[in-house]
Amino acid sequence: MKQTVRDFFKQFPDDDACLAHLFAVRYGQDHVCPKCETSKGWYRLTNVKAFSCQSCGHHIHPMAGTIYEGSSTPLQLWFYAMFLFTKSRNGVSGRELQRQLGVTYKTAWRIGHKIREHMARVDGDDPLGGAGKTVQVDETFIGGYEKGAYGGKGKAIVLGMMENGGDVMTRVIPDRKEFTMFPHIAANVAIGTEIHTDEHGGYSSLGDEPAYTHKTVNHRKDEYVGTSGQTTNSIEGFFMHLKRTIKGTHIWVSKKHLHKYTGEAEFIYNRRNAPETILTDLLYGYPKG
């Protein structure tokens, strides 16, 4: 069941409730005190965003080591910003966060980027594929052209890898001089995988690798599903949605921050069959104390 705005504010009515949640997820009352090595429980300190050991008084700051560390923005607004991310299929712009949270654009921009970083970390980078599995691989260009440029020059290159029926993973390749796909594929696709690509020359070395079975489709001949069922339709569909999100919501993103937006898209896509877990994963996916 999807959580409504009313449900959200019932669960997190104020900063104290948010901090208590953060402490419970990261530490819990049974957490062993690093100073006195006992687990007699913890209590919230007044006027300080910390908990104290009931035995020795050692302090724990639940926000330390998270995206909230050093922020003066109320914790409830951070949590609500995450909630907004889960309710939009096409992402949330900095201006929208500014309007919804009642903060400056600079603060809203920072919150948005920190949440995208959190999404990427929670999503993880487990290898795709494996024996008996198939991974579709494709590349796309995102960004503005340089003056007088041709082809994809001036754009960032995004490599996408998607396991059939499974997760997607992206890698931003900002420099055309580094436009070699194989190292990224080898680092993120398990040995024994059947890999489907188009006939781009950057994938030609896959045919020489005994670790993979490489099959191609020839788009220049309007082939989108090969004779053996090979296709890149799913990863191309992911790229189409990513581009619509960037163009429609954010208008433009820099090469420097593009990986955060692709990380957000990965996180959302990889939970497409269980959208109700998106907010839960974000609110429980913190480093353990």
Average pLDDT (245-273) is: 93
The total number of structural domains in the chain stands at 1
* pLDDT value at residue 144: 65
* pLDDT value at residue 202: 84
77: alpha, beta or left? (left if phi > 0; alpha if psi -120 to 50): alpha
Give the structural domain span for 165: 134-253
* pLDDT value at residue 148: 55
* SS3 assignment for 205-272: HHHHCCCCEEEEECHHHCCCECCCCCECHHHHHHHHHHHHHHHHHHCCCCHHHHHHHHHHHHHHHCCC
Reported as a single tens digit per residue, the pLDDT across 36-83 is 999 989 999 998 999 999 999 999 999 999 999 999 999 999 999 999
Q: How far apart are CA 55 and CA 35, in angstroms?
A: 10
Q: Is residue 115 part of a domain?
A: no
Q: Is residue 16 part of a domain?
A: no
| Cβ atoms 188, 195 nearer than 8 A | no
Q: Is residue 59 part of a domain?
A: no
Q: Is residue 13 part of a domain?
A: no
Beta strands 213-217 and 194-198, pairing class = parallel
What is the pLDDT of the chain when averaged over all its residues? 92
Q: Is residue 42 part of a domain?
A: no
Average pLDDT (124-145) is: 91
CATH number at residue 142: 3.30.420
Q: Is residue 197 part of a domain?
A: yes
Reported as a single tens digit per residue, the pLDDT across 210-253 is 899 999 999 888 888 988 899 999 999 999 999 999 998 998 88
